[in-house]
Amino acid sequence: MITAIEITSRAPFVGGASFGDVGVYERLDGVAIGEIDPAHPGNVGIVNVDNAPRNARGRVEYRSDICILRPADPERGNGRILYEVNNRGRIMLFANLCAGKAGNQPQTAADLGNALPLRRGFTLVWSGWDPGAPRANGGLGLNAPVATNNGAPIVRRIREEFISGTRGGALERFRLSYETANLDPRGARLTVRRTQEAPRHEVPAWRFVDARTVQLLPEGTLPEPGSIYEIHYQATKPGVLGIGFAATRDLVSHLRHAAAGRDLLGRPMEHALTFGISQAGRYLRDHIALGFNRDEDGARVFDGVFTHVAGIGRVFHNTEFGQPARTRTWHEDHDFPEVEFPFSSAMLDDPIGGGAGALLRGDDSDPKLIETNTSTEYWQKGASLLHTDADGKRDVVLPANVRGYYLPGTQHGGKAGMPRDAGPCTNPRNWHDPMPAIRALLIALDEWVANGREPPPSRLPRIDNGSLVSAESVAWPKLQALVPPHAANDVVPLGDWTVPKSPARAWCALVPQVDADGNEIAGIVLSDIAVPRGTFTGWNLYKSPLPAGELADRDGTYLAFAATRGEREQSADPRPAIAERYPNPEAYLQRVQQVVTALQRDRLLLDEDANAYLARARD
């Protein structure tokens, strides 16, 4: 429960700018102070909560950073909370959903892009859930207690992994998630391998600079770009990380049901929705599965949940010595916890572990759930297992309170303004922006929760119509520039994450089928892919100095069509050229108009985004 909220800053948001009929917003920053009863049924699943220090009331305390945007005149708001789960301390909503500027401290209305949630009157809430999240530049973190063994330090040999030059940028040293209990490197082991399947080799010379930092020797030696460095060491001082789930639960419950929470927001909140991108979406899947969508008094926390690009994943969080910043792809973090049955919201059998299960709990704590994924999540994150059986043999029917949508030809971080160069990859990167569909679906979720209007039917690739197939069955066009991956990332059970071993069996993940252009055929096909000027994929391959040919972490590919028939014949490109497809600008515009009109009709595109597509097509 929340015992106090301390507001440290309160001011008009972005200079007092007005957002449609809702008007001006206020920004409130502060700290939510809470405590949990370790014996409460809603808390007993928190790992090491029984080993955490307790206050005089026998409770375990925490402090969570919070940020709230509320209408200055609360009665002009819509009476609903939109809680965004932060991603590694970062607010993602404005930069992604709204096509605005990245960062937790926007200064002008322009930084907010289209500011859709503000124009719709939501009260926006963020709070810290990860003790390891960076707090620089307004990052949102959590102060959680450290577990002990009856007051003595807990020490355990664990494993960490570091790669320089991929998702985390270039590294000079390695920063450990936990303190080492032994600064003598002879008590640890550091290895390197070039790829995920390559043999490990001992790193000959290195040292602990301090209890959290590892340096290669001799001085000035830098990690090889793209190679996987793995350290086993004696770690100590594990935080009670799972308390982050309780902190989210308690804050939203407090704002909805406590008199002090209602006073802070200026009016009662009728409903609460939540939205999470990538890691934050995986967090929400765990939030549901672990039972944290029911508060300590038995009330449902979130009425609507929207996960975007989470795949089938969870977070490596509610674990002793958990590392929630990690995310499992083919080359990076491959042998860390993220994959855990059950995957789907539907009740299914587990052919590997036995038994059956579903992500949802089958009671009144279950929210209305929307899950959206891109092509990358099918190639890297096993997303097909959200809507097929675990053997990949049949499509399954999702529960009535769940919708799934596939965004074809899109990469994991797709949004407005994506780079179009190759970067660290073999092919030019994918610039497709799926956010127009995400905006429409967020409004659909809101209407579903607020007044019962059901969202559009799920749009997913399927086994029964051939739009979902094995990776080796994808019918790629024969292009010199298109070298497909040799496989999709596997989906396998993980035993001991500190000493991972090759599993005997895997669950069967499938990927979307493509048309003659190499563009995927199922899902919500937005205008740029329905009326294409090139081939979009959700995967790319690394190039040197990274391990050439390895499946890239989250980048996609864009291969433009030739301008004319002569150009394409010269390069032996079987895909029709732009001039062959669209003999004049009017023909192209007419095709875009048809696609946009159909998406509007199906409530998969807002009017403002439809107008933007048409304006771009005219240009």
* Average of per-residue pLDDT across 160-164: 98
Helix, strand or coil, per DSSP, at residue 122: coil
Is this prediction's pTM over 0.75?
yes
- DSSP H or E stretch at residue 578: helix 578-581
Please state, in angstroms and rounded to a whole number, the distance separating the CA atoms of residues 118 and 19. 6
- CA triple 240-242-246, angle to 5 deg: 115
Does residue 52 form part of some domain? yes
Give the pLDDT of residue 486: 87
Overall average pLDDT of the 387-397 stretch: 98
Q: What is the pLDDT of residue 484?
A: 92
Residues 352-380, mean pLDDT to the nearest whole number = 97
* 566 within domain boundaries: no
pLDDT tens-place string over residues 223-277: 999 999 999 999 999 999 999 999 999 999 999 999 999 999 999 999 999 999 9
What value does the mean pLDDT take over residues 98-117? 97
For the chain, how many structural domains are there in total? 2
For position 327, what pLDDT does the model report? 97
137 shares its domain with 32: yes
Domain shared by 47 and 103, yes or no: yes
Tell me which residue range forms the domain holding 23.
2-144+241-325
- Give the 3-state DSSP-derived string for 244-302, with helices as H, strands as E and coil as C: HHHHHHHHHHHHHHCHHHHHHHCCCCCEEEEEEECHHHHHHHHHHHCCCCECCCCCECC
Instruction: Say yes or no: 171 and 278 in one domain.
Output: no
200 within 8 A of 190, measured Cβ to Cβ: no
Four-residue CA torsion sign, 379, 385, 390, 394:
negative
Identify whether 53 is part of a domain: yes
Residue 420 lies in a domain: no
How big is the CA angle at 371 (ends 466 and 369), to the nearest 5 degrees? 125
Position 619 confidence tier, pLDDT thresholds 50, 70, 90: confident
**Residue 120 maps to which CATH number?**
3.40.50
Distance CA 81, CA 349 (A): 36
Chain segment 61-106, per-residue pLDDT in tens: 999 999 999 999 999 999 999 999 999 999 999 999 999 999 999 9
- Residues 423, 429 contacting (CB under 8 angstroms): yes
The residue among 219, 236, 253 that closes a domain is: 236
125 and 21 in one domain? yes
552 in a structural domain = no
- The answer on pLDDT for 43 being more than 90 is yes
**Res. 132: pLDDT tops 90:** yes
pLDDT, position 318: 98
For residues 510 and 377, what is the distance between their CA atoms, to the nearest angstrom?
A: 11
**pLDDT interval class at 330 (50, 70, 90):** very high
- What is the pLDDT at residue 495? 87
Q: Looking at 452-536, list the stretches that DSSP marks H as alpha helix, in order from N- to C-terminal side.
A: 527-530
Whether residues 93 and 16 fall in one domain: yes
Domain match, 45 and 189 both: no
C-beta separation of 43 from 49 below 8 A: yes
User: pLDDT tens-digit profile of 281-304?
Assistant: 999 999 999 999 999 999 999 999
pLDDT at position 502, please? Answer: 87
The pLDDT of residue 557:
98
Decide: 603 and 456 in contact? Cβ < 8 Å: yes
Residues 165 and 218 in one domain: yes
Of 379, 330, 311, 309, the closest CA to residue 556 belongs to 379
Asked if residue 116 and residue 20 are part of one domain, the reply reads yes
pLDDT tens digits along 495-515: 899 999 988 899 999 999 999
- Same domain (yes/no): 26, 66: yes
| Last residue within a domain, chosen from 303, 325, 347 | 325
Q: What is the pLDDT of residues 438-494, one digit of tens each?
A: 999 999 999 999 999 999 999 999 999 999 999 999 999 999 889 999 899 999 999
pLDDT recorded at residue 511: 98
Q: Does position 177 have pLDDT exceeding 90, yes or no? A: yes
Q: Do 8 and 120 fall within a single domain?
A: yes
C-alpha–C-alpha distance, residues 265 and 272, integer Å: 13
Domain end call among 263, 293, 325:
325
The answer to the question of residue 348 being in a domain is: no
Q: What one-letter code names the amino acid at 608? A: E
Domain co-membership, 115 together with 25? yes
Share of the chain above pLDDT 70, in %: 100
Q: What is the 3-state secondary structure (H, E, C) of 343-363?
A: CCCCCEECCCCCCEECCCCCC
- Same domain? For 52 and 188 the reply is no
- Check residue 163 and report its DSSP letter: E
Q: How confident is the model at residue 168 (pLDDT cuts 50, 70, 90)?
A: confident
Tell whether 431 is covered by a domain: no
Q: Percent of the chain scored above 90 by pLDDT? A: 98
Residue-wise DSSP of 124-143: EEEE---TTS--GGG---EE
Q: 517-546 in b/e burial notation, b at 16+ Cβ within 10 A?
A: bbbbbbbbbbbbbbbbebbbbbbbbbbeeb
Instruction: Work out the mean pLDDT of the chain and round it to a whole number.
Output: 97
